[in-house]
Amino acid sequence: MIIVMQQNATEQDVADVFERVKKFGYTPKMIEGSLRKVIAALGDGRDKAQLQSLESLHHVESVVPILKPYKLCSREVKRENTIIDVKGVKIGGKSLVVMAGPCSVESKDQLMETGMAVKAAGATILRGGAFKPRTSPYSFQGMGKKGLQLLRDVSDATGMPIVTEVMSPKELNLICEYADIIQIGARNMQNFSMLKDIGKKNKPVLLKRGLANTIEEWLMSAEYIMSEGNTQVMLCERGIRTFETATRNTLDLSAVPLIKEKTHLPIIVDPSHGVGYWQYVKSMSLAAVASGADGLMIEVHWKPEEAFSDGPQSLKPAKFAALMKDMGKVAKAVGRSL
């Protein structure tokens, strides 16, 4: 249920409703709207009649049931798009954001060269993995803390915020020291205990869709994070596993308008993981912009043929720069900008 406050409701009125909601056995969460304050009452659905009775208060406009299983991220709760500010980079507004960089941090030269190149081409956020999830236990697993330190060095040099992936709760505090955005990878989308831990952090979160998860399951994972107090969540479509083997995954661009309809959270598209081959990244990037995505995450490497991971899907800096120019044209055509 959500309790919509009257436009002239005072802070004391809000505090009064909070106390009543708690007394009924629900957890109140404030949702700031553009015109009115809205309080979400989270619980298992018992004693709904008591919540409905709050409509009799002079400072309450209405009490509305939320039909979706996901509450805080639903359009029913918040009609306006959520805009997340990451060190001045606004995600979810009219301007598209581009997160670019290598799959794995390999060396200072590799990261600095790539970081400077994507910055010059117009990228606004630096991506790079310090802890890498790999299918084989014998593959390169990342540089760990040293990789995070290199990310911070390049971030300081370029002025771009950092997004990097957390693999387990034991790394969370360390990653929070260095990263500006915490990435939750596809394999951890339903690691619910970790989602709760991340929900207690005051850090923007990029939640990737699981390997074969439905949109509702994806949004329920976002709900786990938001229910713990962290509302700075953005979603990332990175392709799902289907019977098709011609590409690494099947990039589900129909998810973009669906997400826009169902939730107020920003959505990012990762065409690099979505297709797995650099030849198709440009087409899928342009299609993602046209479909309404709020941004893209693109793998770029100065020497993809020598990359420790995901070389076949990484663009060289020159191809990335050309892609950015074309994306600008598509963005303008759909009323957005880069």
Summarize pLDDT for 3-27 with one digit per residue, the tens.
999 988 999 999 999 999 999 889 9
Quick one: pLDDT at residue 138?
60
Would residue 338 count as lying in a domain?
no
Dist CA 327 CA 308 (whole Å): 28
Instruction: Extract the tokens encoding 277.
Output: 């081959």
Would residue 212 count as lying in a domain?
yes
Q: Which residue has the tokens 């990310």?
A: 151
Together in a domain, 59 and 90: no
Residue 109 belongs to a domain with what CATH number?
3.20.20.70
Q: What is the mean pLDDT of residues 277-289?
A: 98
Together in a domain, 195 and 290: yes
Spatial CB neighbours of 230, under 8 Å, sequence gap ≥ 6? 198, 199, 200, 201, 202, 203, 205
Would residue 69 count as lying in a domain?
no
Together in a domain, 91 and 20: no
Together in a domain, 21 and 168: no
Quick one: pLDDT at residue 48?
77
The alpha-carbon radius of gyration of the chain (Å, integer) is: 21
Using the predicted structure, report yes or no on whether residue 43 has a pLDDT greater than 90: no
Would residue 76 count as lying in a domain?
no
DSSP state letter for 53: G
pLDDT tens figures, 154-176 = 999 999 999 999 999 999 999 99
Work out the pLDDT band at 67, boundaries 50, 70, 90.
confident
Dist CA 338 CA 330 (whole Å): 10
Together in a domain, 112 and 157: yes
Dist CA 231 CA 246 (whole Å): 37
For residue 97, the cross-strand partners are 295
Dist CA 268 CA 328 (whole Å): 16
**Percentage of the residues of the chain whose pLDDT score is greater than 90:** 80
* Residues 130 and 145: beta-carbon distance below 8 Å: yes
pLDDT tens figures, 110-152 = 999 999 999 999 999 999 999 876 667 666 667 899 999 999 9
Using the predicted structure, report yes or no on whether residue 314 has a pLDDT greater than 90: yes
67 alpha-carbon distance from chain centroid: 24
Quick one: pLDDT at residue 288?
98
Together in a domain, 314 and 211: yes
Dist CA 236 CA 298 (whole Å): 12
How do 2-5 and 37-42 pair as beta strands?
A: antiparallel
Residue 59 belongs to a domain with what CATH number?
3.30.70.1140
Work out the pLDDT band at 88, boundaries 50, 70, 90.
very high
Q: Provide the number of structural domains found in the chain.
A: 2
Quick one: pLDDT at residue 148?
96
Q: Comparing C-alpha atoms, which of 70, 56, 125 is closest to residue 264?
A: 70
- pTM summary value: 0.91
- Residue 329: count of CB within 10 angstroms of its CB: 11
Together in a domain, 128 and 219: yes
Together in a domain, 290 and 198: yes
The full length of the chain comes to 338
Would residue 182 count as lying in a domain?
yes
> What residue numbers bound the domain in which 105 lies?
84-333
Quick one: pLDDT at residue 135?
67
The domain boundary, picked from 32, 64, 96, lies at 64
Quick one: pLDDT at residue 128?
95
Together in a domain, 41 and 174: no
Q: Comparing C-alpha atoms, which of 79, 118, 148, 141 is closest to residue 296?
A: 118
Together in a domain, 275 and 165: yes
> Which of 63-72, 222-231, 254-263 is predicted least confidently?
63-72
Spatial CB neighbours of 178, under 8 Å, sequence gap ≥ 6? 148, 149, 151, 152, 162, 164
Together in a domain, 144 and 283: yes
Q: What is the 3-state secondary structure (H, E, C) of 134-189?
A: CCCCCCCCCCCHHHHHHHHHHHHHHCCCEEEEECCHHHHHHHHHHCCEEEECHHHC
Together in a domain, 192 and 322: yes
Quick one: pLDDT at residue 129?
93
324 three-state secondary structure: helix
Would residue 121 count as lying in a domain?
yes
Would residue 97 count as lying in a domain?
yes
The domain boundary, picked from 64, 94, 110, lies at 64
